[in-house]
Structure 1
Amino acid sequence: MVSPSKIFSPPMDCLHCGWVLHSLPDQSCTEALIWNLYRNHISSSKFFLPLLLFPLILNWRRQTRRRLWAIVKNYLQTVSVASTVNALAYYLSCILRRLNDRFVYSCIFGIPALLASQLLWLAPTRVVQFFATGVLPSAFEAVLRQLNVGLVHSRGAQTLIFMVCSLVVLRRQQIKAYSGFWFIRPAPMPANYDKWSLGERVKQSLLELRTHLGIGLALDLINGARRKQLKKMQLKSTRFMLSCMGIYQLTQCLLANRLESKITNLLAAFLSGGAFGLVKQTPLTYMSIGVVIASQVLWQEFCEMDATHNGLLAILQRIPWALLFLPPSLAYLIHSMFIQPHVLTGLAKSFLNNTADNNVQRVYALINQPTDIVMNTVQKLPIKPFLF
């Protein structure tokens, strides 16, 4: 166990919840809940700002009042859900600390987060999908790192898996059966594409690359602004998207009149995932995102199967897997943030910190200090009641 686990052992396990979990020393548990709700909304609104800005930038020419309201509404709902879940998790941690009369393993981080995230059952579908796309890959990657499986250290295996995921997603995207997130979104190949001249194909490819160049630059610009590192912007998203699209378009250009269009599309989708081999930083993160999205696409295809005469199939299709996986995944991430932060990515840590007004970092910094310093610091603080 790492150093912060000492909070579950004497004498630190008997610390008052207000000394550890509350944002301010003069707050009761209920006052801390109200304060966290307020502060979390502010910090979450800043963290999720790209969720508002990116669709506005991407579709600014086709923007209508209805689309604008849909984007703003989705942004506000996402901020509210994230802020409320985090604030409620801290409140439940206080309740469990008081019920147990001490800090108990999992009752301060994991179980409260698991219970609080049940609010996702009441969240809109788009918000749930957004959290699933962000939380599930982070949890999947953290599990791989914790288990230290061979896949973590094999770039070749990661690349092959990502190429398969690219094939799965783009196959459905090309027939307009999937409209969710993927790293690239090629325009469907025209029916007479094989009759186009090479010059026409190259022109079409350059137009696709120009579009994805703009998208990649917008992503890197927003990310750099959020991190306040515009001068050190590395254009990671731009390079990766251009590489994927370049391989995809090159495959189509060269093989359009040699293979059937369906086979050409499948081969281009598979080979475009080979751009994964060019990723120098956080390749496991890209692979984890690919695995989760491909799994969602396959499940969507499974749910479209006719289950009229198959009762078991009908039952399986009605299971809301995203809502079942999200609460334990979020609880695992929050628990790992305190107990084994080395398995989490920078993005996961940023999400947990910035949607909770940096309370996670504050608590971690406190309990990670030497025991005598912690005891001398907190015992000077007042003991506040639960309500007011």
Structure 2
Amino acid sequence: MAVLSKSFQEWLSGRRCNELLHPHTCRRAAFENLFRFAWSNSKYYLPVVLLHLGKHSLRSGGANREILLDTLWYYIQLVFGGVMDASLISISMCSLRKFLGKFHFYTLLFIPATFGGAFCALFPKRVKHLQHTAIFQALIESLLLHLNPLSKLLASSVSLQTVIFMVCSAVILEGKQRKWYNGFWFLTPDAPTDPDVPPQRKSCSHSELDCGLYIVRGIRNYLIIGLALDVFRYLVSSSKLNQWSLSHLNFQSTAWLGCYVGLYRAVHCYLQSIPIVNESLKHPFAGCLGGLSYFFYPKLTILSYALLEAIRTLSSKNHKTGESKKNRFGWSDLLFPLSLAYLIHNYVMEEQRVSALSGVIIDSTTANYARNISKRIARLQ
């Protein structure tokens, strides 16, 4: 980092905005960027709102006028939030250059990104939650890829990753069952057993009287969900590369989700039939063993998301529900701008320090603005 900083001072600090940031004047660039950022964020958030529409339509038995209007409003909020973040960051970069008279190593990207990211705290709750999820997950994955002994051991050991995912799976599923936290997770846990209601010819809490049927139905449903995810990912990647070969279509998500729900439900049903096992341990143990499925589909992106959701679950458990609803701002609002700034700064200056997911998020929400700066710096050096 010190070598990079010295090189920056020698070769880049005296450059003008139209040499490092954009080819036109700052005013024209700010105006043009509004349209570029709007188009980029519109494409990036479209799959999100389609999933949002599908989820709520399935819950209510169809898409009605209220769901369509809510989805449209959510889409507008997401795009507006992304444009605001990107515009504030790009305008701050030019403004600091004019105020200080030259670029500095941290005033080029880190400080403007911190300033722009701070306004995310004012966004609607669901918009803020989605932005926080994307950036925190990308940050965790980037930290896992760092070239230090611990991260290298974790990145190279699928067994260690699987153990961590198993623990996270147990925490998240237990938290969702006890309603500590209501964030998205790949599985929906079994409903807790009501001690006041006597079981009907079985000890499990599911509606099916036959556990085998319950397990098979779960596998079938999640195979369909995984298949939809795999096909959707194939369509997105093929449209970007303009290559429509079926060889690019794989069914890894399909197999993983089927295996995950199958293990979880089978273990839980089996433990429910063993009276000597403590009732409070049955569900966490089932969630933990269900996490063994990660071994067959090891992805740091999934592990980083599991770590994030496990942290959120434990954090929500330690806070009272009423207090969390009253508090408009929290620690995540302080961490988000710094995390965003860290990712953007390193993406431009040292791309190998951030994950591929970070690059996708940054490029997709800024119309490749950060990548273009990186290319100009490389040419000027």
Structure 2 Cα separation of the partners of residues 179 and 295 of structure 1: 13
Contact 1:50-1:222 at 8 Å conserved across structures: no
Q: Secondary structure at the match of 2:10?
A: coil
Mark the CA change 1:73 to 1:7 in structure 2 (over 3 Å): closer, same or farther. farther
Q: Which residue of 2 aligns with 1:202?
A: 212
Answering whether residue 183 of structure 2 is matched by residue 180 of structure 1, we say: yes
Report the CA distance between 1:60 and its aligned residue: 3.5
TM-score normalised per structure 1: 0.83
Structure 1 Cα separation of the partners of residues 295 and 151 of structure 2: 14
TM-score normalised per structure 2: 0.85
Contact 2:145-2:355 at 8 Å conserved across structures: no
Report the CA distance between 1:104 and its aligned residue: 0.7
Structure 1 Cα separation of the partners of residues 70 and 128 of structure 2: 15
Report the AA paired with residue 30 of structure 2.
Answer: L
Structure 1 Cα separation of the partners of residues 3 and 31 of structure 2: 31
- 1:173-217, CA deviations, whole angstroms, 9 ceiling, x for partnerless residues? 123443211122234266534269998111111222222222222
From 152, 158, 162, the equivalent of 1:159 is 162
Q: Which moved more, 1:348-357 or 1:156-165?
A: 156-165
Contact 2:347-2:354 at 8 Å conserved across structures: yes
Mark the CA change 1:285 to 1:142 in structure 2 (over 3 Å): closer, same or farther. same
- 1:26-77, CA deviations, whole angstroms, 9 ceiling, x for partnerless residues? x321221221121111111111111011133344442333233333322221
Structure 2 Cα separation of the partners of residues 319 and 370 of structure 1: 42
Mark the CA change 1:186 to 1:206 in structure 2 (over 3 Å): closer, same or farther. farther
Structure 1 Cα separation of the partners of residues 184 and 208 of structure 2: 30
Q: Which residue of 2 aligns with 1:244?
A: 260
Q: Which moved more, 1:153-162 or 1:58-67?
A: 58-67
Structure 1 runs not aligned, ≥5 long = 308-313, 372-388
Mark the CA change 1:97 to 1:54 in structure 2 (over 3 Å): closer, same or farther. same
Structure 1 Cα separation of the partners of residues 136 and 363 of structure 2: 17
Mark the CA change 1:35 to 1:109 in structure 2 (over 3 Å): closer, same or farther. same
Q: Paired residues, what number?
A: 359
Structure 2 Cα separation of the partners of residues 234 and 4 of structure 1: 41
Mark the CA change 1:211 to 1:18 in structure 2 (over 3 Å): closer, same or farther. same
Structure 2 Cα separation of the partners of residues 66 and 369 of structure 1: 52
Q: Compare relative contact order (CA 8 Å, sep 6+) and give the higher one, 1 or 2.
A: 1
Report the CA distance between 1:262 and its aligned residue: 3.9
Answering whether residue 221 of structure 2 is matched by residue 218 of structure 1, we say: no
Report the AA paired with residue 268 of structure 1.
Answer: A
Mark the CA change 1:105 to 1:41 in structure 2 (over 3 Å): closer, same or farther. same
Report the AA paired with residue 36 of structure 2.
Answer: R
Q: Which residue of 1 aligns with 2:65?
A: 65
From 343, 362, 370, the equivalent of 2:353 is 343
From 302, 305, 318, the equivalent of 1:286 is 302
Report the AA paired with residue 266 of structure 2.
Answer: L
Q: Which residue of 1 aligns with 2:16?
A: 16
Report the CA distance between 1:78 and its aligned residue: 1.5
Structure 2 Cα separation of the partners of residues 171 and 205 of structure 1: 19
Q: Secondary structure at the match of 1:242?
A: helix
Q: Which residue of 1 aligns with 2:293?
A: 275
Q: Which residue of 2 aligns with 1:375?
A: none
Structure 2 Cα separation of the partners of residues 84 and 224 of structure 1: 30
Structure 2 runs not aligned, ≥5 long = none
Report the AA paired with residue 301 of structure 2.
Answer: T
Q: Which residue of 2 aligns with 1:264?
A: 282
Kindly, what percent of the aligned residue pairs are identical? 28
Structure 2 Cα separation of the partners of residues 302 and 148 of structure 1: 32
Report the CA distance between 1:146 and its aligned residue: 2.9
Answering whether residue 339 of structure 2 is matched by residue 321 of structure 1, we say: no
Mark the CA change 1:81 to 1:149 in structure 2 (over 3 Å): closer, same or farther. farther
Mark the CA change 1:243 to 1:358 in structure 2 (over 3 Å): closer, same or farther. same
Answering whether residue 35 of structure 2 is matched by residue 35 of structure 1, we say: no
Report the AA paired with residue 167 of structure 1.
Answer: A
Q: Which moved more, 1:187-196 or 1:317-326?
A: 187-196
Structure 2 Cα separation of the partners of residues 305 and 333 of structure 1: 32
Q: Which moved more, 1:347-356 or 1:211-220?
A: 211-220
Q: Which moved more, 1:246-255 or 1:111-120?
A: 246-255
Report the AA paired with residue 168 of structure 1.
Answer: V
Report the AA paired with residue 296 of structure 2.
Answer: L
Report the AA paired with residue 236 of structure 1.
Answer: Q
Q: Secondary structure at the match of 1:185?
A: coil
Task: State the superposition RMSD in angstroms.
Answer: 2.8
Structure 1 Cα separation of the partners of residues 349 and 73 of structure 2: 35
Contact 1:33-1:88 at 8 Å conserved across structures: no
Mark the CA change 1:152 to 1:293 in structure 2 (over 3 Å): closer, same or farther. farther
Answering whether residue 316 of structure 2 is matched by residue 300 of structure 1, we say: yes
Structure 2 Cα separation of the partners of residues 140 and 46 of structure 1: 25
Answering whether residue 85 of structure 2 is matched by residue 112 of structure 1, we say: no
Structure 2 Cα separation of the partners of residues 245 and 219 of structure 1: 16
